[in-house]
Amino acid sequence: MSQNYVDNVKVCVRVKPIQSGESKRCISAIPAQNSILIAGKPESKVFSYDMVADETVSQQSLYQSIARPLVESFVNGYNTCIFAYGQTASGKSYTIQGEGVNSDQLQPHHGLIPRVFQSLFTENGGLLNNLTTYKCTLSFLEIYNEHIIDLLEKPTNIQHPLPIGGTQGTSSNLNIRDDNTKGIYVEGLKEVEVKSTKVAMGLLMTGMHHRHVASTQLNLNSSRSHSVLSLHLESRVKDEKTGGSKSKYSRFNIIDLAGSERQKSTDSVGGRLREAGNINKSLTVLGTVIRALVDLSKGKPRHIPYRDSKLSFLLKDSLGGNSKTYLIATVSPEDISYTETLSTLQFAHRVKNVKNIAIINEE
């Protein structure tokens, strides 16, 4: 076994179609060169990535380029991760889960999650069925204001995680653990075994419904929460040394991040102030972790502050470990979104410079 820094973190920028024909554009995608030009004042800038998807790229085509190779790696025992970053309404949820997900038959607007399920369980009998023995489970959580909410549990069991307006609520908080064998996991989180697309889609729907009910009942703003759907795979593989078999664990995290826009100060009153602060904390710490990882990739010794927020701790394996990770940064092309779009392009550019450690198994 040897360790190497490799380019396992890839970045795609996806441009959302322009909503109103009247709007002026501030960016042009140059997909053939994997570049984006952003027209600014006083100067224009060009950023390059591993992939640039303009508005003509379909859900199916994006899946084939980005997620399908990760699904294969996951089945082969690698940790994999996809996360969507961008301002509210730039297309994160459209990309991650898509629309029409109440049908378990594949639809054109289905996003990455339903397509991952299709490949694992349905397409040509399902990739997982190539494994002799396996157990695949699914969990689904939301991080809101540094609290973890289990989306597979009924929202009636969720107590208010936020002390809004000075009322002290009881926490429904779950803790994250770092285990030598299992890696990062959330203690007490519900994990349901899945063997079919139908069951997996049912769990996706349940989680989305619980998220909606919880946010309505508790008056939460869902654009300020991060949702994490994880598939956990345990497969039995032959142990060459002993002739017996051993377990191999892998995890696939699919993450829809909170809107990356700066919180408006008018919202920052009472309980809302704390909410905005914590959401910023999660995304700010993510930014700090990324900067530290970039330094580390350049050979500078750095402490990586994974544990400073729930989100970065949960992403520890995905960003710094033996994981294949794809960031999809979503941007709106309208002139009015210039500042947020530029900030997203810069974040995505930093992430492109992260190289994580690959354990090369020379069996």
Name the residues that contact ligand ADP, by CB under 6 A: 16-17, 86, 88-94, 99, 223, 330
Q: Which CB atom, from 91 or from 321, has the smaller least distance to ligand ADP?
A: 91
Q: Which residue's beta carbon is nearest to the bound Mg ion? A: 93
Which 3 state secondary structure label does DSSP give 127?
A: helix
Confirm or reject binding of residue 80 to Mg ion (CB under 5 A): no
Q: Which stretch binds Mg ion (CB under 5 A): 24-32, 85-93, 117-125, 148-156?
A: 85-93
How many CB atoms are located within 10 Å of the residue 190 CB? 15
Which 3 state secondary structure label does DSSP give 46?
A: strand
Q: Which CB atom, from 79 or from 93, has the smaller least distance to ligand ADP?
A: 93
Q: Which CB atom, from 92 or from 232, has the smaller least distance to Mg ion?
A: 92
Note whether 172 and 146 are within 8 A (CB): no
Q: Which CB atom, from 93 or from 119, has the smaller least distance to ligand ADP?
A: 93
Shortest distance in whole angstroms from residue 96 CB to Mg ion: 8
- CB neighbour burial string for 145-155, b if at least 16 within 10 angstroms, e if fewer: bbbbbbbbbeb
Q: Cis (ω within 30 of 0) for the bond into 69?
A: no
Shortest distance in whole angstroms from residue 94 CB to Mg ion: 8
Give Cα 234 distance to the centre of its chain.
21
Confirm or reject binding of residue 330 to Mg ion (CB under 5 A): no
Confirm or reject binding of residue 93 to Mg ion (CB under 5 A): yes
Shortest distance in whole angstroms from residue 97 CB to Mg ion: 9
How does DSSP assign 275-301, residue by residue?
A: HHHHHHHHHHHHHHHHHHHHHHHTT--
Shortest distance in whole angstroms from residue 92 CB to Mg ion: 5
Shortest distance in whole angstroms from residue 108 CB to ligand ADP: 10
Angle at the Cα of 138 (from 284 to 185), degrees rounded to 5? 50
Q: Which CB atom, from 259 or from 320, has the smaller least distance to ligand ADP?
A: 259
Beta bridge partners of 28: 37
Site of interaction with Mg ion (CB under 5 A): 92-93
